[in-house]
Amino acid sequence: MAESTEIREPSLGEIALAFLKLGTIAFGGPAAHLAMMEEEFVRRRKWITRAEFLDRLAAANLIPGPSSTEVGIFVGQLKRGWRGLIVAGCCFIIPAAVIVSVIAWAYVRFGSLPKVEGVLYAIKPAVVAIVIQALGKLGRTGLKTIPLAVIAALAVALNFLGVSPVLVLVFAGVISASVLTMKNRLMSAVGLQKVVGFPKVLAGAVAVAAVGAAFPVGLWRLFLSFLKVGSVVFGSGYVLLAFLQTEFVERLHWLTEKQLIDAVAVGQFTPGPLFTTATFIGYVVAGWMGAAVATVGIFLPGFVLVAVSGPLLPRLRRSRVAAALDGVVAGSLALMAVVAWQLGKASMVDWTTLAIFAVSLIALLRFRVNAAWVVAAAAVVGWVMR
């Protein structure tokens, strides 16, 4: 069945409110954020088509920075140009940055993190259910042929073998393009179609050389350090952890190992982007101004990269490179499935968490309950139980 073409054009105010809500309740990391965005903007609000969402997911996975945040920025750009880009990104980031700043203030003042184990205990299995729901919907659009489904399966296998996510996506794109090229040649051989060549594509990434060798320890140096990290980090929060360890513990000696682990923990149990770990570190190093400077530094490259690459996506989709983009979409869905599997293994540890997962999945698939209510209900259950 063809996807509905009744696409709405939201105002800047609607974009702001929608992303403020997501930035406040989007627990669970990038896969959960993407699942919530798909439900919010594709199914409920009908701002974009599922195919447009998948193209932007593929693009976000190919550029450095927080992929779910960049998908949100892409959505804002598609709807309202550069104004929508700024509003969507800022409104998704700001709630989490404010929450993390307050936690950092309490951490510096009292020397410990808040006890949130019970809430996380119940939220995580609910998040797995949300991701599975989104995968089912996105898979129907993104894996529309047998070759794309095979590419997704191969991408899952490569990820489990430890291949870098970026290399997995490159592999998926190259294989998809090669399959189309072979198909065209075979068809040409029987006189059905003229052979078309696959064009060479130059792929560029914004890499900011912001080492700042002569800068004193201060806000400017803090900004440059996070600008560098935001410009080159691909992959999961564990990749971010490695960069932060090298930069702030080993090189600059601004943090202890314990402070870094606590910073990453805060990014995990607060809503919104994991990259707000930078907000926590900025506050620990230089107070409220440090939190603001670090947040701007780590997220700024994502805004720039989306602004540059966003206008190219429709042209790529209309060109012969579309087959490669389909492959990257399939690879992105595969990586999302791997995250769901890993999160499921870590979160479903007893009968209670299995029950929370099952009830959440039924609520989402059978009764079409909004994901935000599922997360809120799980949080309440966890708070009461623990």
d(CA 319, CA 155): 24
Sign of CA dihedral 74, 80, 81, 86: negative
For 146-155, 235-244, 266-275, which range has the lowest pLDDT when averaged over its residues? 235-244
pLDDT at res. 185: 67
Give CA–CA dist 277/210, Å, rounded.
19
With tokens 């729901």, the residue in question is 133
pLDDT digits (tens, 9 = 90+) for 181-221: 777 666 555 443 333 333 333 333 333 334 333 334 489 99
The answer on pLDDT for 105 being more than 70 is: yes
Ordered by start, the domain boundaries in the chain are 12-203+306-385
Q: Would you give the distance in Å from CA 237 to the centre of its chain?
A: 11
- Biggest alpha carbon–alpha carbon distance for the chain: 76
CA angle 103, 107, 112 (to 5 degrees): 115
Tell me: pLDDT of 143 over 80.
Answer: yes
Of the listed ranges 56-65, 69-78, 103-112, 320-329, the one predicted with least confidence: 320-329
**Assessment of whether the complete model's pTM goes beyond 0.85:** no
Which alpha helices (H) appear in the chain, and where do they start and end?
12-25, 30-37, 50-62, 67-110, 117-142, 146-160, 165-189, 219-232, 237-244, 257-269, 277-309, 312-318, 322-347, 351-365, 371-385
Q: What span, in angstroms and rounded, lies between the C-alpha atoms of 264 and 16?
A: 27
What gap in Å lies between CA 120 and CA 347, rounded to an integer? 9
Residue with tokens 């930078």: 278
**Integer Cα distance of 69 and 51 in angstroms:** 18
> Is 90 exceeded by the pLDDT of residue 231?
no
Distance CA 57, CA 134 (A): 13
Check: CB of residue 313 under 8 Å from CB of residue 159. no
The mean pLDDT value for 66-78 works out to: 94
